[in-house]
Structure 1
Amino acid sequence: MQEDRIKALVEISALRFQADQARLAQLHAKERDLRKNLQDLVQQRNARVASVIKADDPATIAGADVQWHAWVDQRRKAINTELAQILAQKSDCLARVKRSFGQDQAAQQLLKKVQLTQRRPRYES
């Protein structure tokens, strides 16, 4: 009876650990995507600045170039804000993963201990 309860505890702790790991993986993927977006924006901006901008450039004349740079700055700010939120969530999630891992290991050790004590023959003197 006790062993069945501990087996259920082991299953629950394993499922919780797996769920926490999956959540951490999702956050890691979001972080990677946001960092990639930031990198792309910076590269596009640098490429535009590095290109020879002539006084008769249509984007410069129309003022679109200035607006585009303002949009890039705005977008980078929004991405950085979202990235900071993801990093905070990731930190919390990592702590949950560590805790659920410890709980899972403890439950597995408890099951092993119970199984060993039940298998040992009891000698009476």
Structure 2
Amino acid sequence: MTSEKLSGLARLTDAAFLSEQGKLAKLSRKEAELRAQLAHLLEDRAMTAHADRPLGDAALAAGADIRWHQWIAVRQTRLNAELLQIMELKRLQLRNVRKAHGRAQALEQLTLRAQADARRKKAARQDRDIG
């Protein structure tokens, strides 16, 4: 394959690699966002658990604190499920990134070999023309 064709393919594989990296970065940002939401939720739960409330507190008497803790538990479960899905997608995407990187590296090696072959052929022609 000619050096020009290999260079064109190299540009395409580099673009594919960058695209796969971009997808991985997007998943990583989503994972960080979910982890931050979970941390914030757990902080809120800890703050309400340690809050001193008088026995006559209306929210306490109405059971709002119980509903609040139930809501936190449901929200935490949902966030953990979403986080698990994102982590699995990220694991699969990492495989795609590695594959794209391998293709780019292989094509780079092919390009270097093609260029070296072209230089050798050119040198052999020059030697033959001189001699």
Query: Fold match, TM over 0.5?
Result: yes
**What amino acid is aligned across from residue 97 of structure 1 in structure 2?**
V
Pairwise CA distance, 1:109: 1.2
How far, CA to CA, are the matches of 2:12 and 2:61 in structure 1? 65
Pairwise CA distance, 1:58: 2.2
Q: Deviations over 1:57-78 (max 9, x none)?
A: 2221222111111111000000
Gaps of 5+ in 2: none
Q: Which residue of 2 aligns with 1:2?
A: 2
Dislocated runs of 4+, deviation >2 Å: none
How far, CA to CA, are the matches of 2:56 and 2:39 in structure 1? 29
How far, CA to CA, are the matches of 1:54 and 1:101 in structure 2? 62
Alignment of 1:1-125 (within 5 A): 2-120=2-120, 121-122=123-124, 123-124=127-128
Q: Secondary structure at the match of 1:88?
A: helix
Gaps of 5+ in 1: none
How far, CA to CA, are the matches of 2:16 and 2:59 in structure 1? 54
**What amino acid is aligned across from residue 14 of structure 1 in structure 2?**
D
Q: Deviations over 1:8-66 (max 9, x none)?
A: 11011101110111111111110001001000000000000011132212221222111
Pairwise CA distance, 1:92: 0.4
Seq. identity, %: 32
Aligned residues: 125
